[in-house]
Chain A
Amino acid sequence: MRRCTHCHRALALAFALLLAGVHAAFAQGYEQALEKFTADSYSDTDAAVAGVAASGNPLAAEVIEALQAGNLLFSAAAKKVYIRKPPASLRDAATGQPVSGPEPAGLSPVRVNNRVRRAIEAAMGSLTLLSPDPARRFEAAKAVFKSKDAGVLGTLETAIGKESNPRVKRALEEARAAIVVGKQDASETDRVAAIVTLRDRGDQDARSVLAGVPAGQPDGIQKTLADAISTIDNRLAAWSVAQNFWYGLSLGSVLLLAAIGLAITFGVMGVINMAHGEMVMLGAYTTFVVQEVIRARAPGLFDHSLAIAIPLAFLVAALVGMAIERGVIRFLYGRPLETLLATWGISLILQQAVRTTFGPTNREVGAPNFMSGAFELGGLTITWNRLWIIVFAGIIFAGLLAVLRYTELGLHMRAVTSNRRMASSMAINTGKIDALTFALGSGVAGLAGVALSQIDNVSPNLGQGYIIDSFLVVVFGGVGNLWGTLVGALSLGVANKFLEPYAGAVLGKIVLLVIVILFIQKRPRGLFALKGRAVEA
């Protein structure tokens, strides 16, 4: 509150001076104001800040900035003020000319206290509203929108009049509207116009400005106000649905990445691979190692680290997967429950191996430039890494579909899926197909690891967090059908995010688990069940 009154006073003064502005008086006003700095009293400094800010002199901003930084020096004897440019150069604040020769004696910095600091901030606000740099004007407009300081109104009007950049102009107008809407002495038409401007802005901030207008306004205003608030509410609700949908899509793509490899191995081989999560983890650690090597050897390649990591992660995970298949799983065909136990054992071993090698703590995996940051789309904030992961998931999905559809391996895999013995009779080496399928599924999990390393902690437990979810996706979507996995992953992701606001993150997840459990009761073979004789009686 106190801060406001101070700003208010300083800016009111600035405003008054501005209105009174005759051009000739400006230069004079600037020098007079400058002189007040030499008085070495806080109230004079306060007045000087306001005076300088209102003067419109091109040096004004520099002077205020120097004051803020403690680089404004004065000589009480000579009644002169200097700006010091670190380290040594000195300029006359009145003329802007560098001081030649030795430094004048008896210089000391102008002292500031909290009150002066507040005046400085207010002065900076109004000065930057008129700054030649559009980005700074935009920032200033946003600051005024937040502070809703009626004292800046005059400066705002001037700024709006001069503004040519539409984006900045809009921000300035919104700032003016935020001030005018609460101003009891403004005309009704102005205030209604202000409400409309805010309504069109339509975000949470605009709503809180509108909601902050005290009750008991004239009928016309009250009604427009209520309408505007409900319009904004509707808009916000629509955006929040969009937001949930986006988050759901993002989660769904992560689930898809984690589950799609599982869908292949489970679908083709009927093998429950509990070590699937560890393949994801291996992919993430491969990314980590690649980045470490790049950091040490070729820092320039860092932005390409993921591109390098992707094939390596695929290879590492695929090789480990093939080793598991050849070494363990092929002895257990026809015994899915035992396979489950054996692969669980393998997952324990892999986890512990990674823990011993890399340590139990989280490892830092950096994001290349193109994946950091975010952009705004309407009411949504979209981070690049999430967007890229969705794209990546889409590419992998399409790639796998193509492999299954158009390659010989895919043909054989589909044949083995639908009837193993018949496929075998047709001279398909089912053992080899099993090994390749397992390698492919594991390799895809490794790719998922590269993506997940960007959004999750790279730790030995990385895979564990996804394994149950992945199974639910596969089981929900139906086995042996990639489209089922896609639909399963996206619907579970979206459902999760829509449940979260009502039930909270954990409870939402529980509700979802229960829903999936009930769903499996209803359709024990998932959404897209295999039909025909291959299915169990």
Chain B
Amino acid sequence: MITRRLIEAPDGRGWIFLGLLAAAAILVPCLNLLLPPTSYFHVPTSAVALWGKYLCYALLALSLDLVWGYCGILSLGHGAFFALGGYAMGMYMMRQIGTRGVYAHPILPDFMVFLNWKELPWFWWGFDWFPFAALMVLLVPGALAFVFGWFAFRSRVTGVYLSIITQALTYALMLGFFRNNFGFGGNNGLTDFKDILGFNVQAQATRATLFALSALALALGYLIAQMVVCSKAGKVLMAIRDAESRTRFIGYRVESYKTFVFTLSACMAAVAGALYVPQVGIINPSEFAPANSIEYVIWVAVGGRGTLIGGAVGAILVNYAKTTFTTGLLAPYWLFALGALFVLVTIFLPRGILGLLPQRASPSPRLRGEDRGEGQHQAPASPLAASHPNPIPMPEGHGDRGSASHLRQRSAPQPAE
């Protein structure tokens, strides 16, 4: 049944997206491995690694879009889940180094030998076994998100307050991971990986496989997210986004829905991190930096939030631009461009690039008129509902389920807020 739902979930645009991903997952590794480097169609290994990285970012952005675009939770701490997933994978690969490290210690990673540690800390136990590490990739960030979300949503921390404490969360983790005695390699993080599941991480074939896996993970992440969004729970999530109090008054347990989607999103971000680390070959505490997490948000904003695909597209576009910018003469101007992107997209493209595409049966984008008029931040921290004056278009072809009609009818003022 779940399979059926998974397959039913995507709309027309979704199928195009999945098709492109499938094509990339098959074609790019083939073009990389089978064609000689001299061939015109050969894809260089560096490009495979680079685009593999973009795909991981795309999955991360997609997970962020799930909570922000569909539930109105602006998490400025998604980098934490991404990095935790990366660290779990990094720990597995550190243990795989074995005696090939600089100090050739059979059990302890190099940095522990260097710090004169005698035993493996308990939280490193089991990470030499891949299934355990893979489980931890999901479990640790998921548990953190669950606990954090449960506390935050239960006490109804919303809007900018939530954004700020998620930012504080990732900041606290960053400070912690920077410490040597935290047991995760401190400043330098984890690096110098050799193998993953017995394959050399540097090898061309491994990189191609990782690329294909990233594409598959992105496709799977999209399918799951789309399934959630199209389900009844997804409708409730959107109702929460648009009018949290009203949803609560109707009788839904808002905090349960929010915690669920936040945890799911954290797990997706963690998978992205886990796939990211073997491709870039390092994970260090700067991944936790609050600035990174804010940057992830702009990817979603650029692509168009509340579309899922938009997040992925935005991540790839922005990162492609970043690579192009920062490797050329324009490098000093990258931050100007990024900053301008933040400003221009929020003002002129509130629905992102995907919002520019022609819409069938698009709801009227009542942007500023409503903003200044009703419900304009009477309270210092405006209720979330007021932050989403424009209903975000639903994926097409599902109006019959009553979702779009719910959104379209929302022209009456918000409940007393």
Contacts and interface: CB of A to CB of B under 8 A. Distances in A.
Contacts of B175: 506, 509-510, 513
Contacts of A349: 335-336, 339-340, 343
Pick from B161, B169, B332, B375 the residue with the most CB of A within 10 Å: B161
Pick from B74, B290, B377 the residue with the most CB of A within 10 Å: B377
B151 A472 contact: no
B163 A522 contact: no
Given A269-B377, A341-B346, A346 B387 contact: no
Nearest to A353: B336
Nearest to B289: A464
B140 interface: no
A297 to B, nearest CB: 31
Interface of B: 74, 151-152, 154-161, 163-165, 167-169, 171-172, 175-176, 178-179, 245, 290-291, 294, 297-298, 301, 332-333, 335-336, 338-343, 345-347, 350, 368, 370-372, 375-383, 386-389, 415-417
Interface residues of A, number: 59
Given A419-B378, A518-B151, 7 more contacts: A341-B345, A346-B342, A479-B380, A507-B179, A517-B168, A536-B383, A537-B383
A370 B380 CA distance: 41
A272 B161 CA distance: 10
9 contacts: A270-B379, A328-B343, A335-B388, A335-B389, A336-B160, A342-B343, A349-B343, A513-B172, A524-B155
Nearest to A505: B175
B380 A530 contact: yes
A351 interface: yes
Pick from A353, A417, A510, A530 the residue with the most CB of B within 10 Å: A510
A522 B388 CA distance: 26
Interface SS of chain A: helix
Contact of A272 (B155, B163, B165): B163
Interface SS of chain B: helix
Contacts of A419: 378
A510 B168 CA distance: 9
B251 to A, nearest CB: 16
A339 B294 CA distance: 13
Interface in A299-351: 328, 331-342, 344-349, 351
A338 B160 CA distance: 10
A344 B294 contact: yes
Nearest to B68: A337
Nearest to A532: B379
B275 to A, nearest CB: 27
Contact of B372 (A268, A333, A507, A521): A333
A333 B371 contact: yes
Nearest to B179: A506
A510 B155 contact: no
B376 A420 contact: yes
A468 interface: yes
Contacts of B333: 352
A283 interface: no
A309 B178 CA distance: 37
Contact of B377 (A270, A331, A506): A270
A342 B336 contact: no
A535 B159 CA distance: 13
Contact of B342 (A268, A334, A344): A344
Contacts of A337: 74, 159-160, 163, 387
A450 interface: no
A468 B409 CA distance: 39
A513 B342 contact: no
A471 interface: yes
Contacts of A261: none
A270 B377 CA distance: 6
